[in-house]
C-alpha cells in the first residue's frame, strides 16, 4: 500500500478508503496468526514465528499467550467476519493452557514469564505483567463464552494484582535494597487502568468495585507530567517527583501515547473534559512532537529528556507498537474532538506505517526497523511481539471509522 491521497481529509470518501484498507489489512494479519501460530497439540500459541510464519522456537511467553487469547475473543465477539468456530476453539484452548500452566505453583497466583511448549515454567519475572495479560485473557474469554470459570479466574487474579500494587509488593519477590528507591513506573498504573476498563465494561458490579482503582491509576499516570508540564517522564518517585539519573530522564514516546488513549477512554466514560484535554495535549500531542524523528520520520523508541544519548541500544529503532498506539490515539482523539489536526497526524503515521511495516510477501508486520526505516529483524513474532498491537490497532481503527461513517449516515438522513 502506498500513500493515501484524498480531496479533503475527514471527508466520507477519505474515511471510507481508510476503513477499507485497514479492514483488509486486519484480515491479512489475522490470517497469518490463524495459519501459523496455533499449537493444536498442547493448546496455546507459537509466537516465535519467522518472516514466513515458521516457528523457530516453541517457548510460550505468557504475555503473548494472554494477549492472543484476548485478541481472538475480542474479534470473535465484535466483528461478525471473525465470529468463526475455529477462532473460538483456539481462544479456549489458549485459555485452558493458561489456566493449567501460567502459574508454576498452585500455592500462589504468581505467573511465569515464559513456559515450555507443554507448560513447564522456564522463567519468572518479578513484575505484574504476565498476571495482567492473564486477567485480560480470562475476562474476555468469559465475555465470549459466558463460562464463569474464566470470570472467577480473572477476578481472583485482578484482586491479587491490586494487592501487590497498592498494598504489599513483597509477594513479587523483589529484594528491598537501600539504593533502590521505590519507583512509580508508568507501565503499572497504565496497565491497571487498562484492566479496569476491560473488567468494568457493561458490568455494574465490577464498575462499583474497581472505580477507586481506576481513579488511583489516573492519578498515578498524571504524576508523570513533569518539567512544568513540558515532558512525560516514564519513571517518577512515589510522590510524583523527578528521579535523578538516566532512570528519571527516561522517555518512551509510544508508551506515553498509549497512556494517552487509555486516559482518553477513561475521560469519555466519565465525561471528564479536563482529563480528555490533558490526555490529548500532554500524553498524545507532546510526545508525538518530541518523539517524532524529523530526519527519517517514525517514532523513536526511547529518549532522554535532556537530550543525552540513551543507553538502550535500540533507542533510535522504529518499532511497530509505538506507531500502532499513535494511530489509535489520533483517531480516537478525532472521534472525541473532531479536531482535524489529529486526523492529519493520523494520516502522517498511517502513511509511514503502511509504507514500512507490513510484509507484502508473507503478511503481518516487521517489528523492528532501523532509524532509517529498514527492517533489522525479519521475525514476525518473538518474545515481545505477538498477535496483539497490530490487530488491536487495526480492529480499533476499523471500529472507530465505522462509527464515524455511521454518524455521517445519520447526519445525511437528518438533512
In the complex, the residues that contact a second copy under the rule CB under 8 A are 48, 50-51, 56-59, 104, 112, 114-116, 119-124, 175, 177-180, 244-246, 304, 308-311, 313-317, 368, 370-371, 376-379, 382-383
Q: Of the two residues 24 and 374, which places its CB atom closer to a second copy in the complex?
A: 374
How far are the Cα atoms of 8, 75, 100 from residue 120, in angstroms, in the given order?
55, 29, 10
Report the nearest approach of a second copy to the CB of residue 300 (Å).
12
For helices 85-101 and 62-78, what crossing angle results, to 10°? Answer: 150
Q: Of the two residues 2 and 179, which places its CB atom closer to a second copy in the complex?
A: 179
Report the nearest approach of a second copy to the CB of residue 74 (Å).
27
Residue 4's nearest CA partner among 373, 344, 361 is 344
Report the nearest approach of a second copy to the CB of residue 60 (Å).
10
Report the nearest approach of a second copy to the CB of residue 119 (Å).
8
CA 318 to CA 253: how far, in whole Å? 11
Residue 114 is classified by DSSP as: E
Conformation bin of residue 93: beta by default, left when phi > 0, alpha when psi is -120 to 50: alpha
Q: Of the two residues 48 and 404, which places its CB atom closer to a second copy in the complex?
A: 48
Q: Of the two residues 240 and 383, which places its CB atom closer to a second copy in the complex?
A: 383
C-alpha cell at 270: 466519565
CA 71 to CA 137: how far, in whole Å? 8
Q: Of the two residues 21 and 318, which places its CB atom closer to a second copy in the complex?
A: 318
Report the nearest approach of a second copy to the CB of residue 252 (Å).
15
Q: Of the two residues 309 and 413, which places its CB atom closer to a second copy in the complex?
A: 309
Report the nearest approach of a second copy to the CB of residue 44 (Å).
13
Report the nearest approach of a second copy to the CB of residue 308 (Å).
5
Q: Of the two residues 6 and 56, which places its CB atom closer to a second copy in the complex?
A: 56
- Sequence-distant (6+) residues with CB within 8 A of 102 are 62, 65, 66, 111, 112, 115, 130, 134
* DSSP-assigned states of every residue in 169-208: GGGG-PPP-TT---EEETHHHHHHHHHHHHHHTT-HHHHH
* DSSP-assigned states of every residue in 360-401: TTTSSB--EE-TTS-BS---S--SS--SSHHHHHHHHHHHHH
Q: Of the two residues 104 and 171, which places its CB atom closer to a second copy in the complex?
A: 104
279: Cα separation from own chain's centroid: 16
Report the nearest approach of a second copy to the CB of residue 368 (Å).
6
Q: Are 30 and 393 in contact (CB under 8 A)?
A: no
CA 250 to CA 185: how far, in whole Å? 11
Q: Of the two residues 48 and 264, which places its CB atom closer to a second copy in the complex?
A: 48
Report the nearest approach of a second copy to the CB of residue 376 (Å).
6
Q: Of the two residues 260 and 310, which places its CB atom closer to a second copy in the complex?
A: 310
CA 259 to CA 222: how far, in whole Å? 10
Q: Is the dihedral of CA 154, 159, 165, 166 positive or negative?
A: positive
Q: Are 61 and 106 in contact (CB under 8 A)?
A: no
Report the nearest approach of a second copy to the CB of residue 315 (Å).
7
Amino acid at each position: 500500500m502506498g500513500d493515501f491521497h484524498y480531496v479533503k481529509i475527514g471527508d466520507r470518501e477519505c474515511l471510507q478508503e481508510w476503513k477499507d484498507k485497514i479492514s483488509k489489512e486486519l484480515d491479512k494479519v489475522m490470517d497469518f496468526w490463524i495459519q501459523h501460530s496455533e499449537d493444536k497439540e498442547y493448546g496455546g500459541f507459537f509466537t516465535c514465528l519467522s518472516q514466513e510464519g515458521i516457528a523457530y522456537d516453541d517457548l510460550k511467553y505468557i504475555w503473548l499467550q494472554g494477549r492472543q487469547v484476548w485478541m481472538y475473543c475480542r474479534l470473535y465477539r465484535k466483528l461478525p467476519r471473525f465470529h468463526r468456530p475455529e477462532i473460538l476453539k483456539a481462544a479456549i484452548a489458549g485459555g485452558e493452557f493458561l489456566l493449567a500452566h501460567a502459574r508454576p505453583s498452585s500455592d500462589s497466583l504468581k505467573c511465569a514469564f515464559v513456559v515450555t511448549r507443554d507448560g513447564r515454567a522456564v522463567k519468572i519475572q518479578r513484575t505484574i505483567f504476565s498476571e495482567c495479560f492473564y486477567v485480560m485473557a480470562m475476562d474476555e474469554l468469559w465475555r465470549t463464552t459466558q463460562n464463569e470459570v474464566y470470570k472467577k479466574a480473572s477476578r481472583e487474579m485482578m484482586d491479587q494484582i491490586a494487592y501487590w500494587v497498592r498494598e504489599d509488593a513483597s509477594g513479587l519477590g523483589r529484594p528491598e535494597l537501600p539504593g533502590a528507591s521505590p519507583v512509580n513506573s508508568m507501565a503499572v498504573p497504565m496497565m491497571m487502568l487498562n484492566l479496569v476498563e476491560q473488567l468494568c465494561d457493561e458490568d455494574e458490579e465490577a464498575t462499583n468495585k474497581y472505580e477507586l482503582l481506576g481513579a488511583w491509576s489516573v492519578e498515578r499516570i498524571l504524576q508523570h507530567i513533569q518539567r512544568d508540564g513540558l515532558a512525560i517522564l516514564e519513571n517518577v518517585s512515589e510522590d510524583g517527583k523527578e528521579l535523578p539519573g538516566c532512570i528519571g530522564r527516561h522517555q518512551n514516546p509510544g508508551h506515553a501515547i498509549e497512556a494517552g488513549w487509555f486516559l482518553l477512554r477513561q475521560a469519555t466514560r466519565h465525561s471528564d473534559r479536563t482529563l480528555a484535554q490533558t490526555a490529548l495535549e500532554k500524553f498524545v500531542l507532546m510526545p508525538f512532537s518530541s518523539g517524532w524523528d524529523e530526519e527519517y520520520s517514525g517514532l523513536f523508541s526511547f529518549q532522554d529528556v535532556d537530550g543525552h544519548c540513551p543507553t538502550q541500544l535500540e533507542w533510535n529503532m522504529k518499532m511497530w507498537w509505538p506507531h500502532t498506539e499513535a494511530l489509535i490515539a489520533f483517531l480516537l482523539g478525532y472521534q472525541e474532538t473532531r479536531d482535524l489536526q489529529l486526523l492529519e497526524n493520523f494520516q502522517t503515521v498511517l502513511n509511514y506505517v503502511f509504507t514500512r511495516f507490513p510484509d507484502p510477501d508473507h503478511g503481518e508486520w516487521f517489528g523492528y526497523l532501523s532509524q532509517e526505516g529498514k527492517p533489522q529483524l525479519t521475525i514476525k513474532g518473538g518474545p515481545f511481539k505477538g498477535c496483539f498491537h497490530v490487530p488491536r490497532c487495526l480492529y480499533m481503527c476499523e471500529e472507530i471509522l465505522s462509527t464515524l461513517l455511521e454518524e455521517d449516515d445519520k447526519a445525511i438522513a437528518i438533512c
